[in-house]
Chain A
Amino acid sequence: MHRRSSLLLSLILALMLGDVASAAAAQMVWSGLVIANNVAQPDEIPPELNRLEGTLKAWFGYNQFKVIGQSRKTLVTGSEDWLAASKYFSLHVDSKGETEAGYLLNLKLFQEKSVLLETEARLGKASPLVIKGPQVGDGQLLLVLVVQ
């Protein structure tokens, strides 16, 4: 009898705690500077881009995607900023806040010290953002933001 009651109570508590924990869970945003190009023997796509592989290949027509700079930022308050940088490019992301639909972001792509591109976007939690940057050599710079 006591064992049964304890089991029931534990189950209820576990459900409640799980709910609270999931509600309070912070989310991570992966930001990447990616060079897309066509090669005879393409490298394996980075794991962060796995779910986007088909879309990226279809939209941009390249078979290889290499990450030249990246950042993983865990958003706790939803109002944080971070930088993903390579040798010549850097992407500054300023999160202005969180809504039910996603994060309000201000993005600035720097080419060395100059702001090449600036945009404001609402990043959906289940909807990646891809920005087509300048042509670099025989490839293309892409900026990718994914909420993980």
Chain B
Amino acid sequence: MKTFEEKWTAWLDGELRGDELAEFEASLPDKAAAEAEKRDAHKLGAFLKEQLQDRAMGNEDFFHHQLRGRIAADARAANAPSASDGAGAKPALWPLGRLVWVGATSLAIFLVCTFFVLREKSPTDQSQYLTHILNARVDPELGPNATISMFESKEDKVTVLWTEGLQSLPSEYATK
């Protein structure tokens, strides 16, 4: 046995037939008002149907890919050993691979900088790092005829101050 509300809903939906329809319509106190209400209900239904349609997804594949990725990550996290299983559970901030790359990159930058700095500082003329005699003199009393000359051996990087004509001394002067 249907209640009035059930029959009303069925009537609005046009699902009442035959005797049941006639009996229900006869029971309505104001059929014109009921018909108006039925039309309003149909209008509302049509409007809602139009407005609440499923929207077409513009980037469906991408969304699915993201979703699958997230699901897989969640599954991995769920399968991974818990924190109490050991230190391996904690994700490393700097994985070994990244550390190696950062190290290699830093080293390369350091070498490049060093190269440029050293190139800038390296003398264009290596002779400026050789020893230079700026001046020299021999005591005129001890070596009146002495002469002085200078030699630079760039191969050995040795500078020699060569004196000639100094007074010869006895061998006892060679003692320590």
B64 contacts partner chain A, Cβ-Cβ < 8 Å: no
A22 contacts partner chain B, Cβ-Cβ < 8 Å: no
Q: How far is the CB of B50 from chain A (nearest CB, A)?
A: 58
Q: Is the interface of A mostly helix, strand, loop or mixed?
A: strand
Residues on the B chain within 8 Å of A114, using CB:
139, 141-142
Chain A's closest residue to B161 (CB) is A131
Residues on the B chain within 8 Å of A137, using CB:
169-174
CA distance A117 to B148 in the complex (A): 10
Q: How far is the CB of B154 from chain A (nearest CB, A)?
A: 9
CA distance A111 to B131 in the complex (A): 24
Q: How large is the interface on A (under 10, 10 to 19, 20 to 34, 35 or more residues)?
A: 35 or more
Q: How many pairs, one residue from A and one from B, have CB atoms within 8 Å of each other in the complex?
A: 146
Residues on the B chain within 8 Å of A123, using CB:
131
97-151 of chain B: CB within 8 A of chain A: 99, 103, 128-139, 141-143, 151
B73 contacts partner chain A, Cβ-Cβ < 8 Å: no
CA distance A119 to B136 in the complex (A): 4
Question: Judging by beta carbons under 8 Å apart, are B135 and A115 in contact?
Answer: no
Interchain CB contact (< 8 A) of B133 among A8, A121, A135, A136 = A121
Residues on the B chain within 8 Å of A5, using CB:
94
